[in-house]
Copies of this chain bind each other. A is one copy, B any other.
Amino acid sequence: MSTVTPRHTVRHPPTLEAVAEAAGVSRATVSRVVNGSPRVRGEVVEAVQKAIAELGYVPNRAARSLASSRTHSIALLVPEEVSRFFGDPYFASFTTGLDRRLAASEYVLNLVVARDDPDRKAVRYVRGGNVDGAIVVSHHSGHEFLAQLEGVVPIVFGGRPEAGISAEPYFVDVDNVAGGRLATEHLLGLGRRRIATIAGPVDMTASMDRLAGFRAAMDDAGLPSTAIDYGNFTAPGAAAAMRRLLEEQPDLDGLFVASDLMATGALRVLAARGIRVPDDIAIVGYDDSPAATWGEIGLTTVSQPSELMGATTVDVLLRLLGGDPDVPHANIVPTELIIRESA
């Protein structure tokens, strides 16, 4: 039990006013220096910067927001299932990319969980003018409330949103169809012919596109693309799908799994049954996530540059916030096949 007061007394931090006085100029001039206006003489800039450094001045965000009606913060809108979101390595590195790029700007990230509560707290938050823009990730269809955000602030989607969510959405995405095709063609190139796929949820464009790529490649090869099951982008889900696939078609020799995390689930099932990879079944994953190298054998996988995607998403949003008139709506980042041992 200490004798200090529990209340943290905030010794008043220096204001613009104080800096102005110290530098012998007006508030307006200090403000100009802080905001990098070119219309200030060099020596004055230096004097002000010296005063700022000496006083340890940090602009008051609230005051700045109030006066300029720009908050300098952007919302990271994540879906209800926070733990699913954060548990996924893809999003982990997406967020890393986001953050890195954001760190170079003066914007701050507000973590907003878009839950389906009756009063739409997240929507009210964004509509309430609390952020200048928003980044939406892992967007399943059914989140119609996003429509309520249209036109309120610029929104950039990490991954292409479902049609109908937004008239002309800004988004960053990889070419998932090409990725699915790439993976499947690699398996075909290896001579595999009885190829199955474990897809992600049907309500996510990313997983449906990868599936489309799989189908296209199989079609082109004149093979049936009937061995399809769904794993919900989780390892247990994929394990269950793997068991079902093996039941239907025990002689599979190739498998395309729409995420590395799911691939770990599938691999576990295979290992348990003594099915050898890649000897018996060659496997290609998707994401090039850390999970791809967790196992005893490296997973051949389609590289989604998730960190780059995060960074790009921020770039797009910042350009939008900067008033750039010709930001492309679709921002596609490249996909690549990383060949390891599993296929």
| A325 proximity list for chain B (CB < 8 A) | 6
A108 touches B110 (CB 8 A): yes
Q: Which listed segment binds B: A58-66, A175-183, A205-213?
A: A58-66
A6 touches B129 (CB 8 A): no
Q: Which listed segment binds B: A18-26, A37-45, A93-101, A221-229?
A: A93-101
- Give complex CA distance A124, B52 in Å: 13
- Decide yes or no whether A264 CB sits under 8 A from chain B: yes
| A163 proximity list for chain B (CB < 8 A) | none
| A109 proximity list for chain B (CB < 8 A) | 110-111
- Decide yes or no whether A54 CB sits under 8 A from chain B: no
Contact A111:B99 (CB < 8 A) given known A66-B60, A323-B6: yes
- Decide yes or no whether A71 CB sits under 8 A from chain B: yes
Taking a contact as CB atoms closer than 8 A, the residue among B2, B66, B117, B290 that contacts A87 in the complex is B290
A58 touches B92 (CB 8 A): no
| A305 proximity list for chain B (CB < 8 A) | none
A324 touches B6 (CB 8 A): yes
- Give complex CA distance A294, B242 in Å: 13
Nearest B residue to A73, CB-CB: B110
Q: Which listed segment binds B: A7-15, A191-199, A247-255?
A: A7-15
Instruction: Give the A interface residue count (CB, 8 A).
Output: 72
A62 touches B58 (CB 8 A): no
| A239 proximity list for chain B (CB < 8 A) | 294, 296
Q: What's the least CB distance linking A272 to chain B, in Å?
A: 5
| A200 proximity list for chain B (CB < 8 A) | none
| A93 proximity list for chain B (CB < 8 A) | 83
- Give complex CA distance A196, B294 in Å: 22
- Give complex CA distance A239, B293 in Å: 11
Q: What's the least CB distance linking A276 to chain B, in Å?
A: 12
| A324 proximity list for chain B (CB < 8 A) | 6
A92 touches B87 (CB 8 A): yes
Contact A153:B8 (CB < 8 A) given known A62-B62, A62-B65, A109-B110: yes
Q: What's the least CB distance linking A61 to chain B, in Å?
A: 5
B60 touches A129 (CB 8 A): yes
| A71 proximity list for chain B (CB < 8 A) | 61-62
- Decide yes or no whether A268 CB sits under 8 A from chain B: yes
Contact A294:B111 (CB < 8 A) given known A8-B151, A154-B8: no
A58 touches B127 (CB 8 A): yes
| A153 proximity list for chain B (CB < 8 A) | 8
| A161 proximity list for chain B (CB < 8 A) | none
Known: A8-B153, A62-B62, A83-B96. 11 other contacts (CB 8 A): A6-B323, A8-B154, A10-B152, A61-B71, A66-B66, A87-B89, A108-B130, A110-B111, A111-B111, A236-B290, A268-B295
19 A/B residue pairs, CB under 8 Å, sorted by A:
A6-B325, A6-B327, A10-B69, A13-B128, A59-B128, A61-B65, A61-B128, A62-B66, A76-B111, A83-B290, A86-B86, A86-B91, A87-B89, A87-B290, A99-B113, A103-B121, A108-B112, A265-B294, A268-B295
